[in-house]
Structure 1
Amino acid sequence: MKQSIKKVLALTLALMSAGALYAQSNKQITVTGKVKFPDPTGKYKIYLGQYVGDGFAKAFKAMDSTALDANNTFKFTINTNKPDFYQVRVYYMDRIDFWADKDDLKINFRGIDTAKRIVKNPPYIRIEGSADNDVVNHTNFVNYRNYQSTILLYNQLYKAEQAKDSLWVASVKRTIDSLNSDVKARIRNIVEIYKDKPTVLYALNGLRGKADEPFVMSVLDNLIEKYPNLQQAKATKKEMAAAKAQTEKIANGKAAPDFAYPDLNGKKWGPKDFKGKYVIVDFWASWCGPCRQEIPHLKEVYKKYKDKGLEILAVSVDAQPEKWKKAMDEEKMAWPQINAQDSKPVMSSYLFSGIPYLVLLDKEGRIIEKNLRGESLDKKLKEIFGI
C-alpha cells in the first residue's frame, strides 16, 4: 500500500512539473494602452521593440507594430519566458521602457498634439498594472521633473550670458549644480529602495559617473548573487568595464579619437586635419536648443582667437541631413561643418550622450578638456592664449 501511494505521489509530482514546464514555455503578457491624440494622417504606427547591441552601439529594433483601433487603443502580446526590458514607441515620438514578466500592463500616451517638431519636450508616461515597474515609474518621474527644471535654468543662463551679468551667471550655475546633485541623490535613493529587484537596473542608468561606480558595482553584485541567471546585470557590468577603459583612453592629455565625416561638398574632415592648430570640436544638432544658443558665443570666440591659431569643427549629429543643412543656413557659421548622420561610433568613442558637447584639442590633436561651454570655455582659452 505504501509503495502504491509513493508511485501515485511520484506520478502526480511528475505531471505537476510537466504542467509547470508547459506553462512556463507559454508565458505571455499583454500590453495595452490608449493614445489621446492619434496621428491624423494615419501613416504612423505604434511599435514594440528592444534595444540591441552593446554600449553606444545599442539601437532600437522594432519587433512588432500595430495601428490604433476605433477607440484609439492598441495591444501587444509578449512572450515572457525570459523577463526583460521592452519599449513601446508611439509614432517614434513618445516612448516608454518597461519590464515584462508576469503582469499585464496598461500604458496610455498623450500622442501627437504637441509635436510641433519631430523632437519635443518628452512627457511623463506612467506604467500601470505592475509593481515590478514601480522603479521605472519613480525614476522616470524624477528625470521628468529634473528635465523641466533644467530647461528653465538653461534659458536663464542664456539670458544671463547675453546680458553679461556675471553675478546672475554665477547664481544660475550654482543652481544648475545643485539640481544635478539633487537628481543624482533621488536616483540613488530609488536604487537603495529597489536594490533587490531586477528592475533596479533601469535606475542604475542614471548613476554612471566615476564617483558612483563602487555603489553601482555593489548593487550589480547583489543582483547577480540573488539572480544568477540575470544576464542583464552581467551585461551592465561588462558595459561599465568597457566604458571605464574608454574613459582612460580619452583622459586629458591623450590623443583624441579620430573620425571623418563629410561636409556639404562630400569632403571628409576629422581632428587629424587640424594638426598645428588648437581646435574646438563642437558636437551639436539642429533640434538642440542649448546647442544653438551656444553658437553666438562660439562666433565671438572664433572672431577673437582665429588669427591666434584656433579653429572650430562643428559635428552635427542630425540623422536627417536636410535639417542640418537648414540649420546651417540659419546660423551662418564660418567654420567647417560636417554631418555625422550615424553618430553612434563617435559618441561611443568620446563617451557622451547629451549635446552640446565641446572638446578642446591642442596642436598635436591631444585632448585639453572635455564638455566645455560658455564661461568655462572662455576661461580655458584665456589660459592658452593669454587674452
Structure 2
Amino acid sequence: MMHKMKSLLYLGALLGMANACNKNTTPTTGGTDGAGYQLSGQLQNAPAGTKVYLAELGETQFVSRDTATTDEKGQFKFTGSLPEAGLYQVKTSDQNQALVVLSNGSRVELSGDANQLPTTYTVKGSPDSELLKTITRTLESSQRQMQQVMPRLEQRYTQAAQAGRQDSMQAIQRQAEALQSQGQREVARLVRQNPNSVVSAFVLSSVLNPDDNFTLADSVATQLKASQPNSRYTKSLVARLEPLRATAIGTTAPEISLAAPDGKNLPLTSLRGKYVLIDFWASWCGPCRRENPNVVKAYNKYKGKGFEIYGVSFDQDRAKWLKAIEADGLIWKHVSDLKGWESAAGQTYGIKSIPASILLDPQGRIIGKNLRGEALEAKLASVLK
C-alpha cells in the first residue's frame, strides 16, 4: 500500500537475519587472557548439556564462532580475543536468540529463559549490548503494531481506491506512515544519545534509512571517525553515506541528461529558474502508479507558478513507459535510458527504492526529498507564495 513500507525491510537486517541467517563454519575460539572478552550466561529451562551457539555478524549473515554447553545450573561461558568490537548472536535455537556486543575487555552477563530468549533476556556489563537490546525491543514492538494494524489499513485503503476516494486514501496512508515512524523516531533518539557506539553505526547503515536520517548519520560518522576510525562499522557507515552526500539537502543536484520520449536528450539543468521535482518512478511500480494522482494534483495546482516536474523512469520497455505516461495523465517532462535499476540517473542519485523524489529550488539546490501528497503540496505552497 505504501511506498515507505519498504523501509520496514531494514528491520530484517537486525531481527530476521538474527533468527534465520546462520552459516555453519568450524567454531573458533580466541585467547582467554585478561585482555580478551568474557560472555557468561545463565539460562532457565536449559538442562545440563544444552548447546549454546555464538555467531558473529558478518556483512550478510551470522558466522559461527564458538559453542558452549550449559551446566546443571544452566550456566555457560564464552571467552576469547577479538580484533575489534562486533555484534554477536547468542542462541540455543533459531527461534531463541539474543544479540550482544563483544569487545576485548568486556565482561558481559546474559540471562533469560532458554525457551523464550528473545523476549526474556537481559544483559549487563556492556552499555553497547544494553543499547542493542533496547533498540531491538523497540523495533520488535513497532513490527508487532504494524502486523496488527496494517491488514485493516490495507483493506480500508483498497476499498477507498476502488471507490475513487482520494482524500480517504491519503488519510489512510498518513495513518500508516505515522505508525511506522513512531518506532523509527525512538530508534533515532537512542542513536542520537549514543553517537560513539558501534551499535549506532550499524543501525544507521543497516536498519534506519541513512538517506532519511542523513544529518544524524553524518554527525555520528564524524564522531566515530575520531573515536573508532578502524572499526568496520565506522567504515561501513562512512561508505554508505558517501553516495548520499551528493544529494544531501542544500547541495546542488547532480546533472541528469537522458532521452525524452521524442528521443532528444533533456538536461535537468535546462529547467533552472523553476522549482523542479525530480520524480523517480516506473510503469511497473504499483506504489508509483498509486502516488501519481497526488503528483498530478500538485502539478495542476502549481504548474503556472514556477513549478515543473522532471520524471525519471526506471522502465526498460519503451512502449509500457509511454503508455503509463498517457494513462496516468503525466503531462510534464519525462526522461529515461530504459535501463531499469541500472538507470544512470538512479545510480548518480543512489536511488534504492521507488517512488522517490527530490525537490530543487530555481538555482538547482536540493530543498526537499521524498515529499508525498499533502507534504509536497505544503512545501510547494511555502516556496511558491
TM-score (structure 1 length as normaliser): 0.50
Residue 315 of structure 1 aligns with which residue?
Answer: 312
Residue 205 of structure 1 aligns with which residue?
Answer: 206
Please provide the CA RMSD for this pair: 5.3
C-alpha change, 1:238 and 1:301, in structure 2 (3 Å) is closer
Residue 180 of structure 2 aligns with which residue?
Answer: 179
1:100 aligns with 2:63: yes
Measured after TM superposition, the shift of residue 130 of structure 1 is 8.0
C-alpha change, 1:188 and 1:383, in structure 2 (3 Å) is closer
Measured after TM superposition, the shift of residue 258 of structure 1 is 1.1
Q: What is the rounded CA distance, in whole Å, between the counterparts of 1:297 and 1:156 in structure 2?
A: 18
1:235 aligns with 2:235: yes
C-alpha change, 1:238 and 1:324, in structure 2 (3 Å) is same
Instruction: Describe the SS at the equivalent of 1:359.
Output: strand
Instruction: Describe the SS at the equivalent of 2:238.
Output: helix
Return 5+ residue gaps in structure 2 as ranges: 1-22, 29-55, 68-92, 101-117, 119-131
Instruction: Describe the SS at the equivalent of 1:283.
Output: strand
Instruction: Describe the SS at the equivalent of 1:173.
Output: helix
CA displacement, residues 118-172 of structure 1 (integer Å, 9 cap, x when unaligned): xxxxxxxx9679877989xx69977866776668658867949964659x95686
Does the 8 A contact of 2:27 with 2:66 survive in 1? no
Q: What is the rounded CA distance, in whole Å, between the counterparts of 2:189 and 2:319 in structure 1?
A: 41
Q: What amino acid is aligned across from residue 99 of structure 1 in structure 2? A: F
Measured after TM superposition, the shift of residue 217 of structure 1 is 5.0
1:288 aligns with 2:285: yes
CA displacement, residues 68-127 of structure 1 (integer Å, 9 cap, x when unaligned): xxxxxxxx988999x7746xxxxxxxxxx42234489xxxxxxxxxxxxxxxxxxxxx96
Residue 20 of structure 1 aligns with which residue?
Answer: none
Residue 297 of structure 1 aligns with which residue?
Answer: 294
Residue 5 of structure 2 aligns with which residue?
Answer: none
C-alpha change, 1:319 and 1:305, in structure 2 (3 Å) is same
Q: What amino acid is aligned across from residue 264 of structure 2 in structure 1? A: K
Q: What is the rounded CA distance, in whole Å, between the counterparts of 2:219 and 2:361 in structure 1?
A: 35
Q: What amino acid is aligned across from residue 233 of structure 1 in structure 2? A: Y
C-alpha change, 1:348 and 1:336, in structure 2 (3 Å) is same
Does the 8 A contact of 2:255 with 2:269 survive in 1? yes
Q: What amino acid is aligned across from residue 202 of structure 2 in structure 1? A: L
1:306 aligns with 2:269: no
CA displacement, residues 200-225 of structure 1 (integer Å, 9 cap, x when unaligned): 93785123324654895599689959
Does the 8 A contact of 1:99 with 1:199 survive in 2? no
Residue 365 of structure 2 aligns with which residue?
Answer: 366
Question: What percent identity do the matched residue pairs reach?
Answer: 26
Measured after TM superposition, the shift of residue 233 of structure 1 is 2.0
Does the 8 A contact of 1:154 with 1:290 survive in 2? no
Q: What amino acid is aligned across from residue 180 of structure 1 in structure 2? A: S
Does the 8 A contact of 1:256 with 1:271 survive in 2? no
Measured after TM superposition, the shift of residue 317 of structure 1 is 2.5
C-alpha change, 1:328 and 1:202, in structure 2 (3 Å) is same
Q: What is the rounded CA distance, in whole Å, between the counterparts of 1:263 and 1:78 in structure 2?
A: 52
Q: What amino acid is aligned across from residue 364 of structure 2 in structure 1? A: G
Q: What is the rounded CA distance, in whole Å, between the counterparts of 1:361 and 1:296 in structure 2?
A: 21
Return 5+ residue gaps in structure 1 as ranges: 1-75, 87-96, 105-125
1:279 aligns with 2:289: no
Does the 8 A contact of 1:255 with 1:366 survive in 2? yes
Q: What is the rounded CA distance, in whole Å, between the counterparts of 1:272 and 1:169 in structure 2?
A: 32
Measured after TM superposition, the shift of residue 187 of structure 1 is 8.6
CA displacement, residues 159-196 of structure 1 (integer Å, 9 cap, x when unaligned): 49964659x95686366234212145369889x9xx99
Instruction: Describe the SS at the equivalent of 1:281.
Output: strand
Residue 337 of structure 1 aligns with which residue?
Answer: 334
Instruction: Describe the SS at the equivalent of 2:283.
Output: coil
Residue 383 of structure 1 aligns with which residue?
Answer: 382
C-alpha change, 1:155 and 1:344, in structure 2 (3 Å) is farther
Residue 53 of structure 1 aligns with which residue?
Answer: none
Instruction: Describe the SS at the equivalent of 2:61.
Output: strand
Q: What is the rounded CA distance, in whole Å, between the counterparts of 2:146 and 2:224 in structure 1?
A: 27
Measured after TM superposition, the shift of residue 296 of structure 1 is 1.8
Q: What is the rounded CA distance, in whole Å, between the counterparts of 2:27 and 2:316 in structure 1?
A: 33
C-alpha change, 1:366 and 1:303, in structure 2 (3 Å) is same
Measured after TM superposition, the shift of residue 315 of structure 1 is 0.9
TM-score (structure 2 length as normaliser): 0.50
Instruction: Describe the SS at the equivalent of 1:312.
Output: strand
C-alpha change, 1:374 and 1:385, in structure 2 (3 Å) is same
Q: What is the rounded CA distance, in whole Å, between the counterparts of 2:225 and 2:273 in structure 1?
A: 47
Which one of the candidate residues 226, 248, 251 is aligned to 2:249? Answer: 251
Q: What amino acid is aligned across from residue 201 of structure 1 in structure 2? A: F
Measured after TM superposition, the shift of residue 374 of structure 1 is 0.9
Does the 8 A contact of 2:360 with 2:368 survive in 1? yes
Q: What is the 5 A alignment of 1:1-387?
A: 85=58, 97-102=60-65, 153=153, 159=160, 163=165, 165=167, 173=174, 176-185=177-186, 201=202, 204-207=205-208, 208=210, 209-210=213-214, 212-213=216-217, 232-239=232-239, 242=242, 245-246=245-246, 250-252=248-250, 254-318=251-315, 324-325=321-322, 327-328=324-325, 330-339=327-336, 341=339, 342-343=341-342, 346-347=345-346, 349-350=348-349, 352-386=351-385
Q: What amino acid is aligned across from residue 239 of structure 1 in structure 2? A: A
Count of paired positions: 272
Instruction: Describe the SS at the equivalent of 2:332.
Output: coil
Does the 8 A contact of 1:84 with 1:101 survive in 2? no
Q: What amino acid is aligned across from residue 251 of structure 1 in structure 2? A: I
